[in-house]
Structure 1
């Protein structure tokens, strides 16, 4: 039997107070405990990735720097956005309009940075698989650092554009006191749908179609000529296998990303203001759940991550010279 729900005023002394729906105590505690656990796991796992790539010197590769950028955004999702979403959906917003606008800005900034990192990862794998002879000269550590910096800077400027009305006058469009729901115009919502979903997803899919075709042809070539390789060529063969494995792993990353992001943006095709609908909590948490799945993919498919976790948990990284340990 469903628990009875009743409407309560957030601010009983105000005429324009929002009404909140309060579920039974057991239902609320169970849901909040589950979501809080997911948020905690998301923050911890991504923090382990950040420590691993930052600490161990031989993990300072171009691809891993891009993974580091993605891990930072995923960590912020688990540390800031998930708890904020839990609070926003289970309690009245008592922090005021300015904090609501700031929270909404952080949501846009972090999500935009995450999407930009995914696009950069896709381009990195495209060059590595489709143009391997030019990879070392085109994808350098300095260029990757510049691209990551530009990615987050662009995300910041885009967030200002997306949130300009709320940043200028916080709470201007809220319908009642005690609510923190971002209401955007049709034009802004359409632009966000194109720039945050249709455009990057189109780039990602096109790049990975090319990567998939080239990877298949390389895999067939390796199987048919494996016995003919000399020792020198065997080194190249191992390197190609490593690149193909990385492409496959990051391909899984992209598929999971699309599975988590598509429902939210697909629904926004019907309703621009998704956050104001009844389906918003589920769609947003599915959106954020991608940040929890990413490190699990690394743990399953990257041996270096499992080895790094062991060294971090056992505090061996505190020993002198631990950053020089061969983690690969």
Structure 2
């Protein structure tokens, strides 16, 4: 299981976005796997749809923090997995089922393909995205040596330059100053993307999640990198069961022409992960940078997520195909 299937993440998401008239919880989360819910809406304002989805995702209606590494079951495979998934899908009168960010090559994805063929449901992949991670159970210096020269320069070798510019320190702003952390994150995102990263509503979600994950053994790291007491970069990291999840990041773009503060800050965090005996992985999660796929140049491991749609009704299959939904 991952951070996103914890009771903390799932319950905080549902408490924030789940209590709408069109939503109905079909299967609660259990701390191991994702919950499921049914959403009712009208496609293009006309076609009535019942959509079955993972708690933490919304394919058409909401914009919320991304919930990755989704899964239906824990500890079962083969025919037991197919039968369990079939019972779950037959228990809800959905017209479409949209399951986001399943791991490519997983038995659950194969089971969905099998069930779609058996029941004559339409099956299509609606999105695919690469995820990246660093295995941190070895030696940090060996990891650095394996990087390309430019990546090593940005991640580590320019620390000396950065640390010559002022007093450098890192500070975890959880739990004492989360507002300062998210204000800095929004400031950096507005400068880079012309929009906030965290809204008032999603801030409530993050605060609830961060408070609850500690009860499940998680450790939040709202890491602020400071130079002469000025926050120049932030990393939203959470440690859970040996993995550091890098959920968000932001940095001062124009601090110094020779420094990439975001990559430099990641270097400090990855270095720390290598030094922790209870940590074996630093997960960048899915997504790419604005100008380059920086995660690919830093990762030791790559994986892929796919999002799939099942459509039950023959009429809906024709309409979806005609309209390109």
- State whether TM-score is above 0.5: no
Query: Which structure has the highest strand share of the two?
Result: 2
Q: TM-score, normalised by structure 2?
A: 0.23
> More helix by proportion, 1 or 2?
1
When normalised by structure 1's length, the TM-score is 0.22
Query: Higher Cα Rg: structure 1 or 2?
Result: 1
